[in-house]
């Protein structure tokens, strides 16, 4: 049961990584990257590493995503 | 070998994610997209190192009142905490450099920057 | 052409890596060398030797304290570098400088929810910092939560009002709080026990061990929050 849960999370992780690099709209890519960070946090929480999961959640969703959004706001929105 | 890879699917997924990130860094033109690829590479390495210390049915390594063995290995987690902080620092610095480049040169596509000066 | 070549090269890179990864001890087995030789020693003697029940906090602040010292220096250096890159540039230098940007109005839903939740988030962040040695958490996690709270407050009330959250007179001191705390505790260890960043090992000074751990965590938390907030304000400056 928990093995299936882990496999699903890994599959979603790979899918979101592929989606993040294929999206031409940079705002969409950053949002998908934020879900990648969330899935990584869930995998670590399920495996018994709560300290790393909490750091990844606070940093991935709270800091990295916001900094990316500020950078996109100051530069371009779409990739050419 | 495929059977061995199936039991170690966490490690194989980390290798796959690392290669996806590296592909993004090499082939994409936009600097911000390259940087998303770099972050994916870093996260793949973090996932690999934490997965090295995981035990089946392992609990968090906190020796409180209701703690039952087995516990996950605490050493890789401590190393990765430092790694995550360093990744955040490089993200902040790289994004400010990208903002500055855009202000100076008007573009953040790598091939146009290469032809500029 | 470039993409196909890169993809082929990456497949060639991935094959030896996958072969090497398949030879590692099975994932999650209880008989792998790190689990049988390395971790039992730290799990058994960590809380007694190092003063915290959370063994990960033990490892990062006591057994590998120099690493954490370097980590807080790295994030402080990143702040210094961001300030050096983005400040002090005249706004009209370059082709895209000086365009006025339209500010979108703040949504009332976001504003209401943030005002409602901010005290609870701040309380939770302080709890995470102070309780980091007995539960999952620690200095940097709580600091990142406070930093995120300051960022979202800046979004709804504007920068000039949100800057009151990091008091102006103490700002440089707060940003440097993490490395400064480490160096102070390290020098205290040097004066009292003979080595830089030496923790007391005698059994009846166990309260001092835990007190130093909490002091370092508070320093890292406050420093991390100030650094994250300042990086956001510098990058978002018009």
Structural domain boundaries, residue A21 = 2-74
Could you tell me which chain B residue has the CA closest to the CA of A74? Answer: B99
State both tokens at C136: 């999952």
Q: Is the peptide bond before C43 cis (omega within 30 degrees of 0)?
A: no
Q: Residue C39 class from Cβ within 10 Å (0-12 exposed, 13-18 middle, 19+ buried)? A: buried
Contact B28, C6 (CB under 8 A): no
* C-alpha to C-alpha distances, A76 to A64, B23, B99, C110, nearest whole angstrom: 18, 22, 10, 25
- Its pTM stands at 0.91
What is residue A13's predicted lDDT score, i.e. its pLDDT? Answer: 95
Position A56 in a domain: yes
Q: What is the pLDDT of residues A2-16, one digit of tens each?
A: 788 989 999 999 999
Asked whether residue C203 is assigned to any structural domain, the reply reads: yes
Structural domain of residue C74, as residue ranges? 38-86+107-235
pLDDT at C9: 93
Q: Which chains touch B (3 or more CB pairs under 8 A)?
A: A, C
Q: What does the alpha-carbon distance between residue B38 and residue B47 come to, in Å, rounded to a whole number?
A: 14
What is the predicted pLDDT for the residue at C99? 45
Q: What is the CATH number of domain B2-56+70-114?
A: 1.10.287.3510
Task: Output the CA torsion A17→A22→A26→A30 (10° steps).
Answer: -10
Question: What domain count does chain A have?
Answer: 1
User: Could you tell me if C3 lies within 8 Å of chain B, comparing CB atoms?
Assistant: yes
C196 domain residue, yes or no: yes
Average pLDDT value for residue range B31-44: 95
Alpha carbon distance C36, C30 (integer Å): 7
**Predicted confidence band at B114 (pLDDT cuts at 50, 70, 90)?**
confident
Ordered per-residue pLDDT tens for chain C, 238 residues: 888 999 999 999 999 999 999 888 888 888 888 888 888 888 888 888 887 888 999 899 888 989 999 999 999 999 999 999 988 766 655 555 444 454 667 889 999 999 999 999 999 999 999 998 888 888 899 999 999 999 999 888 888 888 887 777 888 888 888 899 999 988 988 888 888 888 887 777 788 888 888 999 999 999 999 999 999 999 887 5
Contact criterion met (CB below 8 Å) for A68 and A33: yes
In angstroms, the CA C166 to CA A43 distance is 35
Give mean pLDDT, residues B87-111.
Answer: 91
Please report the ipTM that was assigned to this predicted complex: 0.92
Residue B23 token pair: 């592909």
Q: What is d(CA B63, CA C13) in angstroms, rounded to the nearest whole number?
A: 42
Backbone angles phi, psi at A75, to 5 degrees: -120, -125
> How far apart are the C-alpha atoms of B111 and B107, rounded to whole Å?
10
Check the CA dihedral C141-C142-C147-C153 and report its sign: positive
Residue among C140, C145, C235 whose CB faces A70 most closely: C235
A48 class by beta-carbon count within 10 Å (0-12 exposed, 13-18 middle, 19+ buried): buried
What is the maximum alpha-carbon separation in chain C? 69
User: From start to end of chain C, where are the E strands?
Assistant: none
Note whether residue C51 is domain-resident. yes
Tell me how far apart the alpha carbons of residues A45 and A39 are, in angstroms, rounded to a whole number: 10
User: How far are the Cα atoms of C152, C180, C184 from residue C187, in angstroms, in the given order?
Assistant: 37, 10, 5
Bridge partners of residue B59, in order along the sequence: B71
Instruction: State phi, psi for B71 to the nearest 5 degrees.
Output: -110, 150
CB within 8 Å: C39 and B78: no
Residue C29 lies in a domain: no
Domain residue spans of chain B: 2-56+70-114
The whole-number pLDDT of residue C28 equals 82
On whether the CB atoms of residues C233 and C168 are closer than 8 A, the answer is no
Q: What helix, strand, coil percent values describe chain B, rounded to 5?
A: 70, 5, 25
Average pLDDT score, chain B: 90
> Can you read off the two tokens belonging to residue A69?
């959004």
Report chain A residues whose CB lies below 8 A from the CB of B83.
none
Q: For B27, which of C6, C56, C68 is closest by C-beta distance?
A: C6
Chain length of chain A? 80
Percent of chain A, pLDDT > 90? 74
pLDDT at C94: 52
CB contact under 8 A, B63 and C55: yes
Is C169 contained in some domain? yes
Contact C147 A71 (CB under 8 A): no
What's residue C96's pLDDT?
Answer: 53
């Amino acid at each position: 049961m928990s093995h299936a849960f882990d496999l699903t999370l890994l599959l979603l992780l790979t899918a979101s990584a592929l989606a993040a690099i294929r999206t031409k709209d940079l705002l969409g890519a950053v949002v998908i990257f934020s879900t990648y960070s969330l899935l990584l946090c869930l995998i670590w929480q399920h495996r018994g590493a709560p300290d790393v999961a909490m750091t990844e959640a606070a940093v991935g969703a709270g800091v990295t995503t916001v900094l990316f959004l500020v950078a996109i706001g100051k530069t371009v929105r779409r990739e050419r | 070998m495929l059977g061995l890879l199936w039991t170690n699917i966490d490690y194989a997924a980390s290798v796959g994610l690392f290669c996806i990130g590296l592909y993004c860094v090499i082939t994409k033109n936009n600097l911000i997209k390259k940087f998303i690829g770099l972050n994916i590479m870093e996260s793949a390495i973090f996932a690999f190192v934490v997965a090295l210390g995981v035990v089946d049915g392992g609990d968090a390594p906190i020796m409180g009142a209701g703690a039952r063995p087995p516990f996950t290995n605490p050493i890789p987690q401590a190393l990765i905490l430092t790694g995550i902080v360093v990744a955040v620092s490089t993200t902040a610095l790289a994004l400010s450099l990208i903002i500055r480049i855009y202000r100076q040169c008007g573009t953040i596509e790598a091939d146009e920057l290469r032809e500029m000066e | 052409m470039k993409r196909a070549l890169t993809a082929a090269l990456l497949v060639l890179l991935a094959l030896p890596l996958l072969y090497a990864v398949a030879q590692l001890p099975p994932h999650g087995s209880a008989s792998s060398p790190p689990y049988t030789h390395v971790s039992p020693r730290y799990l058994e003697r960590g809380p007694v030797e190092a003063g915290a029940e959370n063994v990960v906090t033990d490892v990062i602040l006591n057994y590998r304290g120099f690493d954490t010292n370097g980590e807080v220096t790295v994030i402080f250096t990143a702040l210094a570098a961001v300030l050096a890159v983005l400040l002090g540039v005249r706004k009209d230098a370059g082709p895209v400088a000086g365009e006025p940007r339209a500010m979108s109005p703040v949504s009332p839903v976001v504003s209401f929810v943030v005002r409602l939740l901010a005290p609870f988030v701040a309380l939770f962040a302080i709890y995470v910092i102070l309780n980091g040695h007995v539960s999952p958490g620690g200095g940097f996690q709580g600091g990142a939560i406070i930093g995120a709270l300051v960022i979202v407050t800046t979004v709804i009330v504007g920068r000039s009002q949100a800057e009151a959250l990091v008091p102006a007179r103490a700002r440089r001191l707060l940003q440097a709080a993490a490395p400064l705390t480490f160096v102070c505790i390290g020098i205290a260890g040097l004066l009292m026990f003979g080595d830089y960043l030496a923790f007391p090992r005698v059994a009846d000074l166990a309260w001092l061990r835990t007190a130093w751990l909490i002091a370092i965590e508070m320093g890292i938390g406050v420093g991390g929050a100030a650094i994250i907030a300042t990086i956001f304000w510098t990058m978002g400056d018009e």
